[in-house]
Amino acid sequence: MIQKNLRGIILVELLFPLVLLLFGVYHGVLQVLYRSGVIQDLEFAGINYYRGLTAHGVINAIVLTTFFAVAFGNAVISQQLKHGVSARAALAGAALMVLGTLVAAGPIFAGKADVLYTFYAPMRADPLFYIGVVLLVVGSWVSFWAWIPGYLRWRKEHPGQKTPLAAVGIFATFIIWQICTLPVAYEVLVQLIPWSLGWTGGVNVVLSRLLFWFFGHPLVYFWLLPTYVMYYTMMPRLAGGKLYSDFYGRLVFMSFIVLSSPLGLHHQFTEPAISSGYKALHAVLTFLVAVPSLVTAFTLAASLEYGARQNGGNGLFAWWGKLPHFDKERWLFPYLFLGLVIFILGGITGIVNASYSMSALVHNTSWIPAHFHLTVAGPVFLAILGMSLYLSLGLLGKKCAAPGMAVAVPYVWTLGVFIFSAGLFYSGLHGAPRRTNLGISFLDSTSNAYRPDWRIGEYVGAVGGILMGLAVLLFVYVLVRSLASARSAQLANSFALPVSEPYHDEDIRVVRNFKPWVVAGIVAILISYVPPLVQVLSANYPLVSE
């Protein structure tokens, strides 16, 4: 059971970003309209293109994901480690995160922070934007620290017992987050805030990019791992079966602690100050970080097969039909399953991006948003939607008021995201840039820069984007109707997250202790990042003031 004194905090952490998501998604739909030329203007309804794009990225990729990871972490740790969360610290963490978000929102909507969600220099924001981001991140740290005493107590009280897998996954998520946010905290506190206050004459842009991308790739595993917790510890149960291997679940979470960070240079293959040897090392390490996800693909496929066969499935492939794809009682299942299906393409295109030479072709084209909408807007976003609905209704003791519609949402989203990404992959391969208001430039038929060959991809992208917007509206309908339904105290008190039993319950020492994995991760970071850092610092690039 989830602690009573945490329920209100978790609800705020789930519902506050979902309200903001409406703005985030609205600006996403506007993006496809600008890019396809349906809107041919610098701005729409008083908000310009880059302001909208910044709001879209910051709300969807930073605010929603961070709040959700903390809310879900609170729920999992509280349930699995027997009330292991300090409610006071959780409240302080939540308050800091809400305050940080509101502080950062001011300059974004006032047009003083058009810096996009990748907010490194030389683009400069109002200091309040950076201060808001710091508060948000510190709030998430405080929430994480609130779990540590409870975890240590649980271990003392349960000597020799394996820590529940879901708690292992949540700790792995936040260990990665703790490590990767330190350099970006340095960037924001030492470089960006003093510079934006006018206290320093300029900023070392290459260093700023290096520090940002040190954070930028592990960030994606911070997004992904809560979803993996649901895949490993809840989805097999929803499918009517068991997790095929407990060991592989633990191995995957521990491997991410080592492999998530030492590879951020794959975002900087064109960075002049860094030698190609280190870029090649980061490319190889990027291929390596795909391995835990490939292990996940096999472990989950085996778990799903076991569940489907328990439900009467048979044959080589026919058993897929026995999974609860359209089961209104188990409406959470398609949010998880369809995320997996989307991730097959997200993963393959990630491996393309990691290739040193292929990256030169796709870097900064619309291929990149196509890739990341199949990852963060695929498995991650669907899991966030599904679990936010599941948790908020469970904690309030309410039932889903429109289960048929709840099942439809992930299907509409999946269709939308596939169409959207197909269009953007196509135009990206033809050279169409990302982050560009194409309607007033390359898709303006009166312009000398007109590129008619980019139209089809952007039109297709617009159809997908509109479908994605529709899916979110349907989700909001389900959420609001369900929240307005009758409450049962008995349901709320008996609510618990689903937990899958393991099919193979191996007990292997090496995956029972975080320490060696954290040490290996730090060593890998030192090897892969110290020399590039020295190269950047000794390159003596002039400081940039504007």
Active site residues: 217, 221, 371-373, 434-435
Of the candidates 93, 86, 71, the residue with the CA atom closest to the CA atom of residue 150: 86
Nearer to ligand HAS by Cβ, of 127 and 313: the residue is: 313
Question: In this structure, are residues 242 and 233 in contact, taking their beta carbons and an 8 Å threshold?
Answer: no
Nearer to ligand HAS by Cβ, of 251 and 405: the residue is: 251
Nearer to ligand HAS by Cβ, of 119 and 154: the residue is: 119
Q: What is the SS3 assignment for 365?
A: strand
Sign of CA dihedral 149, 87, 180, 375: positive
Smallest distance, ligand HAS to C-beta of residue 354, A: 3
Question: In this structure, are residues 30 and 52 in contact, taking their beta carbons and an 8 Å threshold?
Answer: yes
Nearer to ligand HAS by Cβ, of 44 and 287: the residue is: 287
Binding footprint of ligand HAS on the chain (CB under 6 A): 118, 220, 223-224, 266-267, 286, 289-290, 293-294, 296-297, 300-301, 340-341, 343-344, 347, 350-351, 353-354, 359, 363, 368, 371-372, 375-376, 380
Give the span between the Cα atoms of 88 and 258, in whole angstroms. 31
Residue 355, classified by CB atoms within 10 Å of its CB into exposed (0-12), middle (13-18) or buried (19+), is: middle
Smallest distance, ligand HAS to C-beta of residue 445, A: 29
- Residue ranges in 46-164 assigned as alpha helix (H): 49-57, 64-80, 87-109, 127-145, 148-157
Smallest distance, ligand HAS to C-beta of residue 284, A: 11
> Is the preceding omega at residue 122 within 30 degrees of 0, hence cis?
yes
Smallest distance, ligand HAS to C-beta of residue 375, A: 3
Question: In this structure, are residues 391 and 10 in contact, taking their beta carbons and an 8 Å threshold?
Answer: yes
Of the candidates 144, 131, 139, the residue with the CA atom closest to the CA atom of residue 174: 144
Q: What is the 3-state secondary structure (H, E, C) of 259-274?
A: HCCCCHHHHCCCCCCC
Nearer to ligand HAS by Cβ, of 143 and 353: the residue is: 353
Pairing relation of β-strands 243-245 and 47-48? unpaired
Nearer to ligand HAS by Cβ, of 273 and 354: the residue is: 354
- Residue ranges in 430-513 assigned as alpha helix (H): 455-483, 489-494
Smallest distance, ligand HAS to C-beta of residue 248, A: 12
Give the span between the Cα atoms of 426 and 4, in whole angstroms. 50
Q: What single DSSP character describes residue 500?
A: P
Smallest distance, ligand HAS to C-beta of residue 471, A: 18
Rounded alpha-carbon distances, angstroms, from residue 281 to 64, 271, 359, 526: 32, 15, 15, 13
Smallest distance, ligand HAS to C-beta of residue 495, A: 28
